[in-house]
Chain A
Amino acid sequence: MAVRDYLRERFMPHIWCPGCGNGIVMNNLIRAIEELGWNKNDIVMVTGIGCSARISGYLDFHTLHTIHGRALAFATGLKLARPELNVIVPMGDGDATAIGGNHLIHAARRNIDIAAIIMNNQIYGMTGGQYSPLSGYGAKATTAPYGNIDQAFDIVELAKASGATFVARTTTYHVKSMIEIFEKALTHKGFSVVEVLTQCPTYYGRKNKIGDAVDLMNYFKDRTVPIGSKKKEQDPSLIERGVFVDEQKPEYCSEYAKVIERASKG
C-alpha cells in the first residue's frame, strides 16, 4: 500500500506547523507498518493531548484520542480486553512524562504489549511553549523566562528502570534507523518505548535561539551518536541513539490468560 492509503485525507490539512517533526514520525510509522504488512483493522492507536496526540486523527486505524496524559491507561484497558490487537501509543514528552508519568512507568512495569512512541520536542507546543520535564536545565520557555531550573528526565533510563523490555532512541534526522526501530518496537512482545527526538521550530527553536527546523535537525545530527560510539567517551554530553534494551520477559496479557486458566480450573 502507498503511504496515502494509511491517511485520512478527509481530515486534512493537519494542525502541525511548517517544519514540525511530527509529520516525519508519522511518515516513518506508516512505512514501518507497511513493511510489517499489518492489517489496518488490527491496529489501534491511542493518544492523549498535545500536538503529537493529533496523529491518531490522521491515520486510518481504530483511533482513540483521549485526555491529557492518560493514553496508556486507556490503551491498557483496551489491550487487556482484546490482546490480539496491535496497540500503538504515540505521546508527546509532556503527555508521557509529566501528567502521564505514572501510567508510563506502570505500563512498563506490567510489560503489557503496547508500543509507546514518545515524540520528544522538549516543550509544550500546543499551549504555546511552556517548559516540559524534557526541556532541561537552562532552557528558555514561556514559563521559564529566566531560564529553566528543572532537571530533565532521561526517557531511556526511566523506561529501563521501570521495566520496559524494549527501549530505543532515535531522531527525526535519522529516518532510516527510525523505521527499523519502529518495526522492532511494534513487533516486540512486551512494552516498548521509543524516544524520538523531534523538532519544534515554532516554540523550542525560536525561544532557545537554535534556529529553524533544519538547524534543529542538524543539532540532532551533530549532538547524537550511535550507542557505544568512541565520540561519546570524548564528549559525554553527546546523546546516544539506538536500541538500549531488547529482552523477553513475561508479558501482561499472556500472564492474564494463565490467570483465567487457573481460575477456571478452581
Chain B
Amino acid sequence: MVEKNIRFVQGNEACVEGALYAGLNFFAGYPITPSTEIAELLSLRLPQKGGKFIQMEDEIASMCAIVGASLTGLKAMTATSGPGFSLKQEAIGYAVMAEIPCVIVNVQRGGPSTGLPTKVSQGDIMQARWGTHGDHAIVALTASNHQDVFKITVEAFNIAETFRTPVILLFDEVVGHMREKLVIPEPGEIPLVERLRTSVPEGTDYHPYLPREDGRLPMSDFGGVHRYNVTGLMHDMWGFPTDNPKVAYGLMRHLIDKIEGHVQDMTHAKEFFLDDAECIFISYGSAARSALHVVENRRARGERLGLLELQTLWPFPADYVRERCEHAKYIIVVEMNMGQVLQEVRKAVDDPEKVFLANSIDGTFITPTKIRNILRVIQGKGV
C-alpha cells in the first residue's frame, strides 16, 4: 500500500501534491520561470477532481482571481516568481486587509528585475515581509526538501484558514526543479484545517469583521444566506468603510496581533546537532541542504557544528532563535542573498557581533565548499 505513494518528483510537483492533499480546489496563475510546472500540473490535476484552474491575463489578475474564489469558500492558490511576486503585492495587501485565506507560492529566482530567470536565489525574503504597502503582518514559510515542501504546503493552507490570512510559500529554483523522493501521506495522516464558517442563522445579523474572543472570524461564503460587504478600505464590523480612528486602531491591532501573537504556533524549524554546538548555521530552503552537508561532514571529524533550519520565516521566530543560539560561540547565516535573514538573526540574538553571513548572490547555488571556505575564515584558519 505504501509503495504506491512513493514518487520521484520535482519540488514544484511536491508543492502541487501538498496543495491537493490540503484540499486545493482553485488555482489561477500566469506562466513564469521557475514556477510554471505548478500551473501546468494543476491544469491537469484540478479538473480531474472537479476543481478549477484558470490561466489569467497577468500576474495581478491571478492574485485577484484567487481572492474572489476564496470568498466563495474554495481553497485557492497562485504560484509565481520574482517579477510576478512584485506585481501581486497590491492584491496580497488586499487579502491581508479583507482577511481572505489564500496561498501564494514564490519559487525564487535571481533578481532584481528580470534578473536570472533560471537561476536560484533567496532574494525575496524581505519582499515577502514588506512587499505590499502599509503596516501589516504576514506569514511566509519555506522548506529544503520535497517531503518538507509537501508538509509545509499543507501547513500553509492550514494557517491561511485558521487565521484568515494570505500565506506565502517562499521556495527557490533549486528546490523547485530538483528531483527527489516524495512519500505522499495517506489521507488523514496530516490534519487539515477546514474553513471556520459562521453559525449565525439566516435572518440574524452576521458581523463579518467582528472577531470572536479567540480572535478568529467565522466566514460566510459569498452566495450564502449572509450578504455583507468586503473592502480594502479600513472597515467596521459590518465590513463597511470608516475612517474612525478607534475602529482603524482596533482593526490594525487585530490584523497584526492575530499573526504576531501566534508566532509560537506558527514556528516550524528543524534542529540538527544543536545541543552542544559551538557554531550554529542558520539556514533555510535549498541553502540549508549545503549547510547540513557541512555540519554532518565536520561532526564526523569531531567539530561541534549544528544547524538550525528555519521553515517559518515570517513572523520571524526571534525568541526561539535567541534561545537555541544562546550558547553558540558564533552563528553563521547561510542564505542566497545579501543577508536578509542575517539582519533578523542579529536583531534576535544577545550578541549581534557573533553573527556572520555565508552567502551567494551570483545565481549559483551555495555549495558546501563555499560555506567551508567562509567557515575557515571565521575560524581564523584562512582560505
Secondary structure type dominating chain A contacts:
helix
Any chain B CB within 8 A of the CB of A4? no
Any chain B CB within 8 A of the CB of A67? yes
Residues of the B chain whose Cβ atoms lie less than 8 Å from the Cβ of A20: none
Any chain B CB within 8 A of the CB of A42? yes
Any chain A CB within 8 A of the CB of B159? no
Complexed CA–CA distance, A70 and B74 (Å): 20
Count chain B residues whose beta carbon lies closer than 8 angstroms to a beta carbon of A: 42
Complexed CA–CA distance, A259 and B64 (Å): 23
Given contacts A67-B90, A259-B47, contact A106 B57 (CB under 8 A): yes
CB contact list, B224-243 vs A, under 8 A:
224-225, 227-233, 238, 240-241
Complexed CA–CA distance, A10 and B237 (Å): 13
Given contacts A41-B225, A66-B232, A103-B61, contact A78 B94 (CB under 8 A): no
Given contacts A44-B222, A77-B66, contact A66 B94 (CB under 8 A): yes
Complexed CA–CA distance, A41 and B225 (Å): 6
Residues of the A chain whose Cβ atoms lie less than 8 Å from the Cβ of B225: 41
Any chain B CB within 8 A of the CB of A76? yes
Q: Is the CB of A44 within 8 A of B223?
A: yes
Residue in chain A with minimal CB distance to B28: A77
Q: What's the nearest-Cβ distance from chain A to residue B374, in Å?
A: 44
Given contacts A77-B26, A264-B47, contact A60 B64 (CB under 8 A): no
Any chain A CB within 8 A of the CB of B68? yes
Instruction: Produce 1/0 per residue, A66-93, CB < 8 A to B.
Output: 1100100111111111101100000000
A67 is contacted by which of B222, B223, B232, B241 (Cβ under 8 Å)?
B232
Any chain B CB within 8 A of the CB of A64? yes
Residue in chain B with minimal CB distance to A44: B222
Residues of the B chain whose Cβ atoms lie less than 8 Å from the Cβ of A10: 238, 240
A263 is contacted by which of B47, B58, B60, B71 (Cβ under 8 Å)?
B47
Complexed CA–CA distance, A70 and B98 (Å): 15
Any chain B CB within 8 A of the CB of A260? yes
Q: Is the CB of A70 within 8 A of B60?
A: yes
Q: Is the CB of B222 within 8 A of A62?
A: yes
Any chain A CB within 8 A of the CB of B22? no
Residues of the B chain whose Cβ atoms lie less than 8 Å from the Cβ of A259: 47
Instruction: Produce 1/0 per residue, B331-362, CB < 8 A to A.
Output: 00000000000000000000000000000000
Instruction: Produce 1/0 per residue, B102-128, CB < 8 A to A.
Output: 000000000000000000000000000
Any chain B CB within 8 A of the CB of A256? yes
Q: Is the CB of A73 within 8 A of B65?
A: yes
Any chain B CB within 8 A of the CB of A254? no
B50 is contacted by which of A41, A260, A266 (Cβ under 8 Å)?
A260
Residues of the B chain whose Cβ atoms lie less than 8 Å from the Cβ of A208: none
CB contact list, B180-234 vs A, under 8 A:
222-225, 227-233
Complexed CA–CA distance, A103 and B68 (Å): 14
Q: Is the CB of B229 within 8 A of A82?
A: no
Residue in chain B with minimal CB distance to A262: B47
Residue in chain A with minimal CB distance to B61: A73
Given contacts A10-B238, A62-B227, contact A77 B64 (CB under 8 A): yes
Instruction: Produce 1/0 per residue, A36-73, CB < 8 A to B.
Output: 00001110101000000000110011111111001001
Any chain A CB within 8 A of the CB of B24? no
Complexed CA–CA distance, A84 and B28 (Å): 19
Any chain A CB within 8 A of the CB of B291? no
Given contacts A40-B227, A65-B232, A259-B47, contact A78 B71 (CB under 8 A): yes
Any chain A CB within 8 A of the CB of B318? no
Any chain A CB within 8 A of the CB of B52? yes
Q: Is the CB of B241 within 8 A of A57?
A: yes
With most chain A CB atoms within 10 A of its CB, the pick from B50, B222, B238 is B222
Q: Is the CB of A75 within 8 A of B47?
A: no
Residues of the A chain whose Cβ atoms lie less than 8 Å from the Cβ of B26: 77, 80-81
Given contacts A77-B76, A82-B222, A264-B48, contact A63 B228 (CB under 8 A): yes
Complexed CA–CA distance, A60 and B240 (Å): 12
Residues of the B chain whose Cβ atoms lie less than 8 Å from the Cβ of A41: 223-225, 227
Any chain B CB within 8 A of the CB of A187? no
Residue in chain B with minimal CB distance to A258: B47
Residues of the A chain whose Cβ atoms lie less than 8 Å from the Cβ of B90: 67
Residue ranges of B at the interface with A (Cβ–Cβ < 8 Å)? 26, 28, 44, 47-48, 50, 52, 54, 56-58, 60-62, 64-69, 71-74, 76, 90-91, 94, 222-225, 227-233, 238, 240-241
The contact sample of 13 A-B pairs, CB cut-off 8 A, is A11-B238, A61-B227, A62-B222, A63-B227, A64-B229, A67-B91, A70-B60, A74-B64, A76-B65, A76-B68, A78-B71, A81-B52, A259-B47
Given A81-B26, A106-B56, A256-B54: 8 more A-B contacts, CB < 8 Å: A10-B240, A62-B228, A64-B230, A67-B232, A73-B56, A73-B60, A85-B72, A263-B48
Residue ranges of A at the interface with B (Cβ–Cβ < 8 Å)? 8, 10-11, 40-42, 44, 46, 56-57, 60-67, 70, 73-82, 84-85, 102-103, 106, 256, 259-260, 262-264, 266
